[in-house]
Amino acid sequence: MISKHILLTYLYLLVYITLSSGVILYNKWVLSPKYFNFPLPITLTMIHMGFSGFVAFVLIRVLKVVSPVKMTFEIYATCVVPISAFFAASLWFGNTAYLFISVAFIQMLKALMPVATFLMAVLCGTDKLRCDLFLNMLLVSFGVVISSYGEIHFNVVGTVYQVTGIFAEALRLVLTQVLLQKKGLTLNPITSLYYIAPCSFVFLFVPWYLLEMPGIEVSQIRFNFWIFFSNALCALALNFSIFLVIGRTSAVTIRVAGVLKDWILIALSTVIFPESAITKLNIIGYAVALCGVVMYNYLKANDVRSSQSPGDGERTAKDLRSSNMYGLDDNSTNNGMGLKNARSGSHLEVVIDEDVPFIPASKGLLSRSKPS
């Protein structure tokens, strides 16, 4: 008989895959001029940030589900503000790409996420440039180039937006690692939303005011309260589903689930959005890129294991259960990530899921905070 724990774990994985795929497809449907026709990605992102910040405020200040962390002005200015700025930029560029290129091609371009994160980590001094890792990055990049070459509806503007968003997100991940580790700050999903969402909203207001606000004509905007409410609610639910998955499964399971979800999403997108047809070159290139990502994850996992002393065996296994490598996952209106200490004082491995705003999967996240 299958135990209740295993069944519950598979249920969480199913919910994660369903929500992750659903949020991306939902956002594409809302933004696309061919469907719901709300081609205002910054406006949609601001709706998500405002909703997330409001929910976090209610949970912390009204219902007191968790306690706010000790946040000084110095920490907010030096940590939260720069992280929120690059987070807002990644959302802005990533969501705008949905106006120009297909969901399937966007998922293939996201194979560049580990490449971008690795390069940013090397530039910021948090990782070392090694030959084996560099060769893996070349393999991933080569696969993405093949996919791009095979794209039927290739659009330079959309591709530039998506790649720029990927690098902005990569820099945010590295800054989160450097700044939060330096300050010793631990944020769970709710406190992350509480502090980062309002700040990101402010940063998004600037490009919104300059780029979208002048061209907005109220008479031409389709605004359906239930559409936007359910869209934001799905993104918020995805945030917490990833939190549950991280706490119950291994890094390998999360990675396999992510790859499975990507293939399902690519297949679904071609059915739901007929214009996002894929070619054999798309598939071959994406498969090559995934091989590079898998090899990279394997090498990083070995690094974590080798950094442990013999007496840390049990701790290593536990840490690997809840940690992950620089990975490839989704990017939609909400982007997410998590940090997990593989060992005290050692390199922080990154759990990435770009469907959700931000999930710092540190040890503090896995234990429930007591309300004040």
What would the pLDDT profile of 89-137 be if each residue is shown by its tens digit? 999 999 999 999 999 899 889 888 888 988 998 888 888 888 888 888 8
For residues 191-205, average pLDDT: 92
> What are the angstrom distances between the C-alpha of 28 and each of 35, 134, 310, 347?
9, 33, 49, 36
Within 8 A by CB and 6+ apart from 86, the residues are: 168, 169, 171, 172, 175
Q: 10 Å Cβ neighbour count for 242? A: 27
> What are the angstrom distances between the C-alpha of 372 and each of 60, 62, 115, 187?
9, 11, 42, 16
For residues 301-314, average pLDDT: 62
Is residue 253 within 8 Å of 14, Cβ to Cβ? no
Residue 75's pLDDT band (boundaries 50, 70, 90)? confident
Is residue 190 within 8 Å of 67, Cβ to Cβ? no
Q: 10 Å Cβ neighbour count for 137? A: 21
The two tokens of residue 273 are 């959005």
The two tokens of residue 105 are 């091609």
Q: Give residue 351's pLDDT.
A: 37
The two tokens of residue 304 are 């974590």
- What is the pLDDT of the chain when averaged over all its residues? 78
Q: Give residue 42's pLDDT.
A: 94
Measure the CA angle with vertex 339, ends 191 and 320; round to 5°: 130
For residues 39-50, average pLDDT: 92
Within 8 A by CB and 6+ apart from 258, the residues are: 327, 328, 329, 353
Tokens 């040890």 map to which residue? 363
Which of 331, 91, 97 lies closest to 197, judged by CA? 91
Q: pLDDT per residue over 284-295, tens digit each? A: 998 898 888 888
Report the residue count for the chain. 372
Q: Give residue 72's pLDDT.
A: 86
pLDDT: which is higher, 335 or 134: 134
Is residue 200 within 8 Å of 86, Cβ to Cβ? no
Residue 342 pLDDT > 50: no
Rank 163-177, 209-223, 287-301, 318-332 by mean pLDDT and report only the highest: 163-177
Is residue 259 within 8 Å of 86, Cβ to Cβ? no
Q: Give residue 8's pLDDT.
A: 83
